[in-house]
Amino acid sequence: MANAWVNSAERIGSDLHLELELSRPGPGSRRAALCDALREAVRSGRLAPGTPLPPYRSLAADLGVARNTVADAYAELVAEGWLTARQGSGTRVAERTEALRPGHARVPTRAGKTPPRARGPRHDLRQGTPDASTFPRAPWLASYRRALQQAPNEVFGPGDPAGRVELREALAAYLARARGVRTEPGRIVICSGFAHALRLLFLGSPERVLRGPLAVEAYGLPFHRALLADAGVRTVPLPIDEHGADVGRLARERAVLLTPAHQFPTGGPLHAERRAAVVDWARARDAVVLEDDYDGEFRYDRKPVGAVQGLDPERVIYIGSVSKSLSPAVRLGWMVLPERYVDGVLAAKGEREAWASVLDQLALADFLSSGAYDRHVRRMRQRYRGRRDRLVAALAAHAPHIEVTGIAAGLHAVLRLPPGTERSAVKAAVWQGIALDGLAEFRHPDASVEDTAVRDGLVVGYATPAEHAYGTALEALCTALPPGAAPGTGAPVFG
């Protein structure tokens, strides 16, 4: 069987004016053997940069193997950067492999200097951060100056653990108007962000405000799960479908953590029936809902849906921050608490404010009250909507088989990939100088791939790149995506 495989390969080699020596006979190794042979042909110069390779159907027929064997080999070499594949133009030897040919010396690096690739990616498409160049410096400076000029002397003493009343009053008014939150300043506690809020709720001493088990969505930030695990809090994953988290699976948990406005990272909102159902569950179980409203202001296809907290302020802890809307450098967030939790959170925080700068709190209060925050959010909503539209248009033009999941909202999108291609797509992105994450990075360790409607995907943050660099980043992203399927076959198109 091995000899027939080698002879067949030699016939294909003659068609390409080269011989492919396949040195790994045996079951399950034909793809690896073909990969090795093609790499060696490129390294030796027998396959020059830009050389077209045969369509995978032709090669599979000549070799007498399944088409997927050749398709997988091509896909692996595309991911590694040996080959390039464009729909409509076939599979070719990558141009950059010229540097690997004999007689081409590698570019030496100066002593003490790192190669350019080691200094970081050329294109940062990771989720979670806004465009740093858009921080509203002049309006923020104006608010800071007014706050500093008007600040009473007590501001420069020990802080109130609840946070400055000026900010809590401004937040109560803004959240009621913009997010449908029902509260008053006395139920708002200022923190430095969502992670700080989790610490106060689950790690506080001497008594924890909340205890596990905590139900969480099957996909979320690993950092938050690690923080909870370090506190000894067991998390139970809830499956996710096109209607958001399946809250009907809630059982004996004491609390549930949700991202109802825009599920992170898959992108769907929590369906209206499930929003009501999770509040009913909390009432029946004397439990609580933690609502992470991390980017609730950024909805592009319609007016943002109000917070779940508005359905029952005594059963929902609403948590927000300015890390997405303004900047993660402004370490300010807030918890809107049911009355029974306020004293516990303040006890966990301590008598003196040790996290959020009082002067920053006053500046944010002015920024909200003056209308500057609303203007900034409107401007960024238009900017990020344009970024998302450009991403969708680029995919439609260059990778129409790749679907953007979820609603038009937020600072990132998930690209649904063909089954089994996520890992190779991430590798291909790295080769193109792109920093991004695969969807699997956010999956709860106890969740199965069946717990979500999207199983293979890329999480693409479109907010971070500077405007002048975004187009180039999209071109690189499209190059890294796996090829599409031939019409009616469901098989990858490589040539």
Given this structure, which CATH class describes domain 116-132+375-480?
alpha beta
User: For the chain, what are the domain ranges?
Assistant: 2-100, 116-132+375-480, 136-372
Determine the pLDDT at residue 216: 97
Q: What is the pLDDT of residue 57?
A: 75
Give me the amino acid identity at 427: K
SS3 category, 218: coil
Average predicted confidence (pLDDT) for the chain: 85
The identity of residue 330, as a single letter, is V
> Do the beta carbons of residue 136 and residue 372 sit within 8 Å?
yes
Report the sign of the C-alpha dihedral through residues 195, 201, 203, 204, in that order: positive
What does pTM read for this prediction?
Answer: 0.75
What is the per-residue pLDDT for 69?
79
Q: Is the pLDDT of residue 422 over 90?
A: yes
pLDDT of residue 64: 66
Per-residue pLDDT reduced to its tens digit, 281-290: 999 999 999 9
The pair of structure tokens assigned to 222 is 């690993």
E-strand ranges in 119-274 read 123-124, 188-191, 214-217, 235-238, 240-241, 244-245, 255-258
Say which CATH architecture domain 2-100 belongs to: Orthogonal Bundle (1.10)
Q: Which residues contact 463 (CB under 8 A, 6 or more apart)?
A: 129, 130, 131, 384, 387, 411, 412
Q: Is the pLDDT of residue 413 over 70?
A: yes
Q: What is the mean pLDDT of residues 410-437?
A: 94
Domain 136-372 has CATH 3.40.640.10: yes
Q: Tell me how crowded residue 331 is: count the other CB atoms within 10 A of its CB.
A: 17
Question: Residue 482: how many CB atoms within 10 A of its CB?
Answer: 23
DSSP state for residue 105 in the 8-state scheme: P
- Mapped onto helix, strand or coil, the DSSP state of residue 11 is helix
Give the model's pLDDT for residue 114.
Answer: 41
| pLDDT of the residue at 407 | 94
Q: pLDDT, tens digit, for every residue of 119-178?
A: 568 899 999 889 989 999 999 999 999 999 999 998 888 888 999 999 999 999 999 999
The pLDDT of 31-55, averaged and rounded, is 81
**pLDDT above 90 (res 291):** yes
Task: Name the β-bridge partners of 288.
Answer: 255
Q: Is the pLDDT of residue 198 over 90?
A: yes
User: Average pLDDT for residues 213-227, to the nearest whole number?
Assistant: 95
Tokens of 216: 């969480």
**Predicted pLDDT at 6:** 43
Residue-wise pLDDT for 86-121, tens only, equals 766 678 888 764 444 444 434 444 444 444 444 568
Task: Report the 3 state secondary structure along 455-495.
Answer: CCEEEEECCCCCHHHHHHHHHHHHHHCCCCECCCCCCECCC
Contact at 8 Å (CB) between 266 and 219?
yes
**pLDDT tens per residue across span 318-343:** 999 999 999 999 999 999 999 999 99
Rounded to the nearest 5 degrees, what angle is found at the Cα of 147, between the Cα atoms of 144 and 149?
Answer: 105
Verify cis geometry, omega within 30 degrees of 0, for the bond prior to 239. Answer: no
Comparing 40-49, 259-268, 337-346, the range with the smallest average pLDDT is 40-49
How far apart, in whole angstroms, are the C-alpha atoms of residue 115 and residue 353?
A: 44
Q: How many residues does the chain have?
A: 495
Q: Is 447 in contact with 432 (CB distance < 8 Å)?
A: no
Residue 67 pLDDT: 77
CA separation for the pair 64, 180 (Å, rounded): 64
Residue 205 — very low, low, confident or very high, per pLDDT cuts 50/70/90? low
Give the range among 84-88, 347-351, 475-479 with minimum mean pLDDT.
84-88
Q: Write down the pLDDT at residue 235.
A: 96
**pLDDT value for 434:** 95
- Fill in the amino acid letter for 83: L
**Tens digits of residue pLDDT in 299-313:** 999 888 899 999 999
